[in-house]
Structure 1
Amino acid sequence: MALRIGRRRAAGRFRTAIGALVVALTAGAVVAVPVAEADAAGSKVVYLTFDDGPSTAYTPKVLNVLARYGVQATFFEVGQEVSAHPSVTSQVARQGHSVQNHSWSHPDLSRLSASAVTSQVTRTDKAIRAQTGRTPSCLRPPYGSLNSTVRSRAAALGKQVVLWSVDPQDWARPGTGAIESRVLRNVRPGSVILMHDGGGNRGQTVDALPTIISTLKARGYTFGVLCR
């Protein structure tokens, strides 16, 4: 699958730089804020996000877990996967989740020309809109890779740039227990949790979700949705 290419190489390159980056507050901008301050109301809200889908194998399983616990999430979807599995994207939207833009083919956008970045975003917008009736308002650049071109193109297209603050590296399949502990150890009010429902075998992610959700609920957390 094309979106797997370069994942391990690029992930390490950007992970340190984005550790404190949570959510863009204006189109095209990314603001570094302390995670505990990300929720202005001061309530214990966290945000589950899923990248690289939709996947016929794993997205429905993720949706089943979320439905079981009454939790909504934000899905950053790859356009070519939306095109390949349109009914899964429709299912995500029907169940009340937010469907947002994660580029067309999962390249490092910072290595592309402005016109190529625009194409990656607009093609994905079109595919998602055809299945959900909504144009995504947010962009999550693959690998968290940003430069002035990506920022300016995002702003021109009216997109907020959304990264994350908790990364359990579930894409590397470190084990269900490792995914659970990495999330639960690092989560704070306002945390944006990065997980994956596509791009490879996501069985460990699916298996980790019930413990993550039930434990956070027991700690008094609620779950918010980004980019409505």
Structure 2
Amino acid sequence: MQKDQLFTRRRMLFAGAAALGAAGTAGVLLAGGAEETAGTAAAPAPAHGPQARQTPKSSAFRLQPLTGDGPPRAAPRKLKVRKEPILRISGRGRHMMLTFDDGPDPDYTPHILDTLAKYDVPAMFFLCGECVVDNKELVARMAEEGHAVGNHTWTHPLLTALNRREIRDEMESTSDVIEDCYGERPQWFRAPYGAWNRAAFQLGAEMGMEPMAWTVDTTDWMEPGTDTIIDRVESGAAPGVVVLSHDAGGDRSQTVHAIREWLPHLLESGYHMTVPRRRA
């Protein structure tokens, strides 16, 4: 699928799915932030993605070590199945969490990472597997600079339109490729368009991932203008808030410019940006 086709499909789906996600989302506190309780010739790379998973060759690969001498993938710790995604972070003080969906993208993600590095701020990136395979160096940079990463499926589909096997393939393939370049499997999952269903909650828990939604939507996916994005973040800022932005899926130049303005303003106002601690 070409990049422009993917953007168009996402825009078409979002109009109906955004309302569905908002209607099914309720407040659940996240216990834990960074400061509270609560990274000869070589063989060809293995195939990744939901389609690759349906072939015997891909299944055989999933039983193999990551490298010839490395250990097999560790089984994730299974979690309690939630009925609602997490909306906010808990903890004392003026803590917020910044999240970016749909990447990584070579045109926009590096600029966002540069701004976060300038102010020594961590964020969480919810990654799509199909974008990870072409931008592994950006995922490695996220690990090196202390950012958390989450699973945002392989192709960014509307999960409520898929069967259970298809949802598993989207999620599991993405966790596999993230582990290959980030070094660890993701412990957080976000449904595309915020459209959750029972299977997504159940499968995420089986794979050791908590469901994470958001409190403040910048609506940057609509490209409303840099000033509008800045206003939405600054007016929505409050302790425990989770901010949703995007670093891929369309023209994100407004997002890049906006974060350069609102991030130092929030820091000067006494807010601290945090990400969840990893579970042992």
**TM-score, normalised with respect to structure 1:** 0.90
RMSD: 2.1
Residue 233 of structure 2 corresponds to 183
**Equivalent residue number for residue 40 of structure 2:** none
Amino acid at match of 2:15: R
Deviation at 1:112, TM superposition (A): 1.1
Residues 1:171 and 1:33: Cα distance change in structure 2 (over 3 Å): closer
1:48-127 to structure 2, matched below 5 A, reads: 48-127=98-177
Q: Which moved more, 1:21-30 or 1:152-161?
A: 21-30
Percent of counterpart pairs with the same letter?
Answer: 34
Structure 1 unmatched runs, 5+: none
CA displacement 1:37-60 (0-9 Å, x = unmatched) = x42x32110000000000000000
CA contact 1:22–1:192 (8 Å) conserved in 2: no
- Return 17-26 or 70-79, whichever deviates more: 17-26
Shift of 1:16: 3.5
RCO comparison, higher one (Cα < 8 Å, 6+): 1
Match of 2:82 among 19, 22, 29: 29
Match of 1:13 in 2: 19
**Partners of 1:30 and 1:61 in 2: CA distance:** 36
Equivalent residues of 1:49, 1:192 under 8 A apart: yes
Q: 1:27 to 1:179 in 2, by over 3 A?
A: farther
CA contact (8 A) 1:19 1:164 kept: no
Aligned residue in 2 for 1:203: 253
CA distance in 1, matches of 2:182, 2:86: 31
How far apart are the structure 1 equivalents of 2:188 and 2:97? 14
CA deviation digits over 1:193-228, x for unaligned, max 9?
A: 000111111110010002211111122110001363
Q: How does 1:125-136 map to 2 (within 5 A)?
A: 125-136=175-186
- Listed as ranges, the gaps of 5+ residues in structure 2 are 32-78
SS at match of 2:133: helix
Q: State the one-letter code of the partner of 2:153.
A: S
Stretch deviating more after TM superposition (142-151 or 23-32):
23-32
Separation of aligned partners in 2, 1:77 and 1:181: 26
Tell me, in whole angstroms, the C-alpha distance in 1 between the residues paired with 2:188 and 2:101.
13
Shift in Å at residue 27 of structure 1?
Answer: 4.5
